[in-house]
Amino acid sequence: MGLILVRYVGEIGIKGKNRFYFVKRLRHNLRDALKRSAAYGRVWSEGQRIYAEVQDDAQGAASAEGVSPRALAALRRVFGVASLSPVHQVPSEMEAIQEAAVTVAERAALQSPMTFRVRAQRADKAFPYTSPEIGRIVGGAVWQKTQANVDLSDAAHVTIGVEVRPEGTLVFGETIPGPGGMPLGTQGRVFSLLSGGIDSPVATWLMMRRGCGVIPLHFAQSQVQEQKALELCRILDEWSFGWTIKPIVVDHHQLLDPIADRLQQIGEERWTCLFCKRAMIAKAAELAPRYRVQAVVMGDSLGQVASQTMDNMIAISWRAPLPIFRPLVACDKNQIMDLARRIGTYDVSSRTAAPCPFLPDHPITSARLEHLHDIMAQLA
């Protein structure tokens, strides 16, 4: 069995009386991550830390601390996790702590002229050495064994952590960053208008990161586009521990054909993109009670394309039947693409696809509400 120390984000720790709810949900999601990675074990809390004791179901290489790499890969994708470390748990005795620290150093291939540091914390005040004394003594043992240089800055090649706690001491040499955010499933449900492009999967991921259970709503223009969107959903589901991504597919032509035809008849085809998005939001509102959804997520970035000017966003949102969240509104394209690469959706989103068949030659860029009202009156 391998032991993993899980640190959750600071904003969970300041939830006061509600902290128990968030930590409980985080433990649930961590257990789901282990289950879906074919690893077995248990997850529990002690104070403000969470521990996972893991045994891999499949035979394969384990990390230095006996932890399944597949389990680590899954746990590091659980929203709400700040970082995690595979750890050695030893008795709170200086000799045992030194031996464990030397083992960590050797497994990290620490040697001269590499550098290292020891960061010690003493939660057990009954332990006879202070945190600085622990650092010096343990560091001395590591230096004697490896002859590596000491560097107390963040530039050190290896950082050895030592946490002396009443139940035993934890020693570790690796801190793996998590995605941060809030535990998935703590902030209600939303529809995400998911296309096959770069932006909407990133917007979906960001809402998941803030704890929302997301239901992708895809308006299919073709079978190729639909398959692309479903593949993006499978990638997003790899981050969705504690919640299963179950997309809903709607026929885009069936939704928009009547509206596009009518706009062309009255000479207002330049407004097609805006009325398309308003129709999507209306469809989401129609489905919302069935799925207990409270809001709609869109991948709009201010000024990025014609339909995403401020005037157009205001027109799209006017009297919307559901709240609209736009998590990318202040991001530029490079930031969005960097996030897409991190999430794993970029390659799929970047595949060449047929352009939208409803896209007008000169889409409106400065919609005015007065004109919107006139068009809606004509369409009524």
55: CATH? 3.30.2130.30
- CA atoms of 379 and 356, how far apart (whole Å): 22
Task: Report the largest interatomic distance among the alpha carbons of the chain, rounded to a whole angstrom.
Answer: 86
Q: What is the pLDDT of residue 69?
A: 87
What is the mean predicted confidence (pLDDT) over 27-55? 90
Q: How many structural domains are present in the chain?
A: 2
Is residue 182 a part of any domain in this protein? no
Is the four-CA dihedral 367, 373, 378, 380 of positive or negative sign? positive
Query: Which stretches within the chain are classed as H helix?
Result: 10-13, 19-36, 69-75, 94-107, 131-146, 199-209, 223-237, 252-265, 272-291, 310-317, 333-343, 346-349, 369-379
Kindly tell me the burial class for residue 183, based on how many C-beta atoms sit within 10 Å of its own C-beta (0-12, 13-18, 19 or more). Answer: buried
Amino acid letter, 82:
A
What is the mean predicted confidence (pLDDT) over 131-160? 96
Quick check: 233 and 192 in contact, CB under 8 A? no
Using one digit for the tens of pLDDT, what is the confidence trace for 190-213? 999 999 899 999 999 999 999 999
- Cα-based angle 197, 294, 32 (whole degrees, multiple of 5): 75
Q: What is the pLDDT of residue 65?
A: 56
Q: What residues contact residue 262 under an 8 Å CB cut-off, 6+ apart?
A: 379
- Percentage of the residues of the chain whose pLDDT score is greater than 90: 82
Distance of CA 241 to the CA centre of its chain: 10
Using one digit for the tens of pLDDT, what is the confidence trace for 348-362? 999 987 888 888 989
173 and 237 housed in the same domain: no
Is residue 184 a part of any domain in this protein? no
Which of 154, 177, 200 is a domain's end point?
A: 177
Using one digit for the tens of pLDDT, what is the confidence trace for 224-255? 999 999 999 999 999 999 999 999 999 999 99
Kindly tell me the burial class for residue 61, based on how many C-beta atoms sit within 10 Å of its own C-beta (0-12, 13-18, 19 or more). Answer: exposed
Is residue 40 a part of any domain in this protein? yes
Q: What is the pLDDT of residue 296?
A: 98
The whole-chain average pLDDT of the chain stands at 93
78 and 218 housed in the same domain: no
Label the pairing between strands 158-165 and 115-122.
parallel
Is residue 104 a part of any domain in this protein? yes
Which of 146, 177, 208 is a domain's end point?
A: 177
- CA atoms of 75 and 343, how far apart (whole Å): 15
Residue (of 167, 181, 20) closest to 90 by Cα position: 167
Q: What is the pLDDT of residue 225?
A: 92
114 and 262 housed in the same domain: no
283 and 335 housed in the same domain: yes
Q: What is the pLDDT of residue 56?
A: 60
Taking 90 as the threshold, does the pLDDT of residue 49 lie above it? no
Using one digit for the tens of pLDDT, what is the confidence trace for 166-176? 889 999 999 99
- Exposure b/e, 252-272, CB count within 10 A at least 16 = b: beebbeebbeebeeeebbbbb
Is residue 183 a part of any domain in this protein? no
- CA atoms of 284 and 279, how far apart (whole Å): 9
Q: What is the pLDDT of residue 355?
A: 81
15: confidence class by pLDDT, cuts 50, 70, 90:
confident
204: CATH? 3.40.50.620
Using one digit for the tens of pLDDT, what is the confidence trace for 333-348? 999 999 999 999 999 9
Q: Which residue has the higher pLDDT, 380 or 329?
A: 329
Q: What is the pLDDT of residue 57?
A: 56
The 10 Å Cβ neighbour count of residue 304 is: 17
Which residues form the domain of 243? 189-379
Using one digit for the tens of pLDDT, what is the confidence trace for 54-105? 876 554 444 545 677 889 999 999 999 999 999 999 999 999 999 999 999 9
